[in-house]
């Protein structure tokens, strides 16, 4: 397993991050345990979850599964760098969502109980809250850090200017600020290259891409059809829109002798600022397949071909659109 530091921190994390969103709704608790054990055996020490995962409002189903897995002992908790999130609705009352100081405090306490731990390594804001002042957000986060309940703070789904706004506000308070951003980023979704990635690089944030396979679109959707296997509904709809690109892409991967999913993950691992793409295996077999991407090196010519199939926005803003 390869490791890298998370942004400008001294924290070392694996180059693949285990996403746990499937734990509960699509993967049984027993299978979830097996996948997490296998991840540790393979050297993956970076796990991502959220208080809303499990999709039963207020229950934190996925966090509970992780907590019960940790409770088995064996040094599991000590081996894992855990990222969880706050923002989503955890109830129907007015202050049970978003980023008020009240909700941040309550959400953190509830996550700690579900996870059966006394600290969260990386506490991520799941979305920007345009209605809450940054001084209020940072005051709440500072308190959690001072109490030892949170070690680092990250963001998710922020625009580039939100990252700048957040970290400038943190700097004024002499607080460390954001250390990571979790964004939608894959070969078919490259808008973050305009401003989010430059902001991450300027402020020293690690980039954690979610949906690296574009919901299955980059995972060999045409191959699956040819083999009589049905791709997910999201991938099927996306295929109708992007069929020409996907046909070129899968032909390119076939000529390389590589699986489309592996090439998509390897491409992300070659991109500047990327710390660790989030993989979401539903089975141990899928986890093993994902790990192979770490050893797949793409040549400059291969990277150029992928850029031609999936053109990005043209580089960083404003040059990408100004001239």
Who contacts 181 (Cβ-Cβ below 8 Å, separation ≥6)? 154, 155, 156, 158, 163, 196, 199, 200, 205, 206, 207, 208
Phi, psi of 195 (to 5 degrees): -135, -30
**Which residues are CB-neighbours of 224 under 8 A, at least 6 positions away?**
230, 231
148, 118 contact by CB (below 8 A): yes
3-state secondary structure of 259: coil
> What distance in Å separates the CA atoms of residue 169 and residue 171, rounded to the nearest whole number?
5
173 C-beta neighbours (distance < 10 Å), count: 14
Is 53 a catalytic site residue? Answer: yes
| Distance between CA atoms of residues 63 and 48, nearest Å | 10
Instruction: Tell me if 119 sits within 8 A of 150, measured CB to CB.
Output: yes
CA atoms of 7 and 81, how far apart (whole Å): 14
Active-site annotation holder among 53, 152, 185, 203: 53
CB 128 within 8 A of CB 121: no
292/25 Cα distance (integer angstroms): 26
State how far the alpha carbon of 219 is from the alpha carbons of 24, 259, 312, in Å. 23, 8, 19
8 Å CB contact between 150 and 108: yes
- What per-residue string of b and e applies to 249-277 under the rule 16 or more CB within 10 Å gives b? bbebbeebebbbbbbbbbbbbebebbbbb
Q: Are 271 and 240 in contact (CB under 8 A)?
A: no
Catalytic residue numbers?
53
């Amino acid at each position: 397993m390869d490791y890298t530091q998370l942004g400008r921190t001294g924290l070392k994390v694996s180059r693949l991050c285990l996403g746990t969103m499937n734990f509960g709704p699509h993967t049984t608790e027993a299978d979830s345990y097996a996948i997490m054990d296998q991840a540790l055996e393979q050297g993956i020490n970076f796990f991502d979850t959220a208080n809303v995962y499990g999709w039963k409002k207020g229950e934190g189903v996925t966090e509970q599964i992780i907590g019960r897995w940790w409770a088995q002992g064996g040094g599991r908790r000590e081996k894992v760098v855990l990222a969880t999130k706050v923002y989503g609705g955890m109830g129907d009352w007015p202050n049970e969502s978003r980023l008020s100081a009240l909700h941040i405090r309550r959400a953190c306490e509830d996550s700690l109980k579900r996870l059966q731990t006394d600290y969260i390594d990386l506490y991520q804001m799941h979305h920007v809250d345009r209605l809450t002042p940054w001084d209020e957000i940072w005051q709440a986060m500072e308190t959690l850090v001072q109490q030892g309940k949170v070690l680092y703070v990250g963001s998710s789904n922020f625009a580039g200017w939100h990252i700048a706004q957040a970290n400038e506000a943190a700097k004024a308070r002499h607080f460390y600020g954001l250390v990571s951003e979790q964004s939608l980023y894959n070969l078919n979704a490259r808008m973050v290259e305009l401003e989010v990635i430059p902001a991450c690089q300027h402020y020293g944030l690690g980039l954690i891409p979610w949906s690296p396979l574009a919901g299955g679109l980059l995972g060999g959707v045409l191959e699956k059809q040819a083999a009589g296997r049905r791709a997910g509904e999201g991938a099927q709809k996306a295929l109708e829109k992007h069929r020409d690109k996907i046909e070129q892409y899968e032909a390119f991967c076939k000529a390389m002798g590589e699986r489309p999913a592996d090439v998509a993950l390897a491409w992300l691992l070659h991109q500047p600022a990327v710390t660790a793409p989030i993989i979401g295996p539903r089975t141990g077999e899928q986890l093993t397949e994902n790990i192979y991407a770490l050893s797949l090196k793409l040549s400059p010519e291969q990277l150029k071909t992928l850029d031609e199939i999936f053109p990005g926005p043209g580089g960083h803003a404003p040059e990408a659109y100004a001239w």
